[in-house]
Amino acid sequence: MNLILFGPPGAGKGTQAEFIVDRYKVVQLSTGDMLRAAVAAGTELGKMAKAVMDRGDLVDDQIIIGIIGDRIDEPDCKGGFILDGFPRTLGQAEGLDRMLDEKGLTLDAVVNISVPDEELFKRIEKRAAETGGSRADDNAETLKNRLKVYHDQTAPVLAYYEKKNMVDTVDGLQAIDQVTANIVTILDGKR
């Protein structure tokens, strides 16, 4: 099973990804982790990414999609994968679709965890209070900026997959175990 876990920052994607990985024996793919691994391994794409990062620039979509393509060719991804935090732009979504098509693979699901912005601010405040503000991104100003980027650049990706009738939305305001149960129902229906 190959899927995208979608939702705004603070929606609980990381928590749900852990459950999905455990239940469906798929691999969670983080573009940040993959970039660092490719650089450390000295692959061709890793060398290209390192040169870009060393200049302080963002790694372009073609390099990231190439790194994801290399990663999903590895044996542990044969049972499937979760993309969490990718694609972030329409260009990345279109590039991902082309790459998967070239490999004869498809996305089985795009699961959107929907949480209103007001609730996300409450969650960040609660987490900051519980952790004593130990995470640098646990503040309203950082979340405000992350949500602006999400709404401006990433939300159109959801519309792209909705046009393909691929999106299943889960109410992220429910208890964690209920969100998990809803995701399991969706994914079991896709098998």
Q: What is the pLDDT of residue 148?
A: 86
Asked if residue 156 has a cis previous peptide bond (ω within 30° of 0), the answer is no
Q: What tens-digit pLDDT sequence spans the chain (191 residues)?
A: 999 999 988 899 989 999 999 999 999 998 777 877 888 888 888 888 888 777 766 678 888 899 899 999 999 999 999 998 789 889 999 999 999 999 999 999 999 999 999 998 888 878 777 877 666 666 778 778 888 888 888 889 999 999 999 999 999 999 999 999 999 999 999 87
Compute the distance between CA of residue 157 and CA of residue 86 in angstroms, rounded to an integer. 10
Q: What is the DSSP letter of 86?
A: -
Judge contact between 16 and 5, C-beta under 8 A. Answer: yes
Partners of 83 in the β-ladder: 4, 29
Q: What is the pLDDT of residue 134?
A: 66
Classify domain 2-26+79-190 at the CATH class level: alpha beta
Which active-site residues does the annotation give? Answer: 13, 88, 127, 135, 146
Q: What is the pLDDT of residue 137?
A: 64
Residue with tokens 């040169």: 51
How many other C-beta atoms lie within 10 A of the C-beta of residue 39? 20
Q: What is the pLDDT of residue 159?
A: 94
Specify the DSSP element, H or E, that contains 169.
strand 167-171
pTM as predicted:
0.84
Compute the distance between CA of residue 40 and CA of residue 55 in angstroms, rounded to an integer. 17
Rounded (10°) CA dihedral 77, 106, 116, 171: -90
Would you state the structure tokens that stand for residue 47, as one six-digit string?
């060398």
Domain ranges (residues) in the chain: 2-26+79-190
